[in-house]
Structures are given as C-alpha cells and as structure tokens.
Amino acid sequence: MTAHRPRPQPPPGGLLDWRDASHWSWTAKPCRYCGKPAHLRDSKHKPAHKTCAEQALAQQAADAAGAYQNGHLS
C-alpha cells in the first residue's frame, strides 16, 4: 500500500511564492519577459515580474501538453 502525499498548494494569489527577500532588489532592471522595469528577481536571479513569470510558465505547460498530445516529444 502506498501512502498518499498531500499536493503542495500554491501560495495565495498565484503559482509562485516570491515573498522571500532574496527575490527583491532595490535596483530595477528590465523584466526578462516584458522589458519593463522590475525589482523582483526569479530563482536564477534574472529580473522578472511575478505575473510575467507565471504567464510564461503557463504557456510552457500548455506548449508541452500540446506537444505531448500531438506526439511531438522526442
């Protein structure tokens, strides 16, 4: 018999939890997705807005699901 692990729940308000201070910079740099100034940094320390990053993740997931369904994964 296998134990069921509870699924991790997304943080309130979205998919990504950037509440940790390591995601903040006093220096605004262009967001890697939209190009507008962003104080947030992603897990790779690249400037990104939370909403832009979530939109990009959703698009990547949709693209992967579409490729999987169409048999284009190699």
pLDDT of residue 32: 96
Give rounded-to-5 percent helix, strand, coil for the chain: 30, 20, 50
Q: What is the number of helices (H) and of strands (E) in the chain? A: 1, 2
* Residue 45 Cα distances to 9, 26, 29, 42, angstroms: 24, 13, 11, 5
Question: pLDDT by residue (tens digit) across 15-54?
Answer: 677 888 888 999 999 999 999 999 999 888 899 999 999 8
CB 32 within 8 A of CB 40: no
More confidently predicted of 31 and 12:
31
Domain boundaries, the chain: 22-69
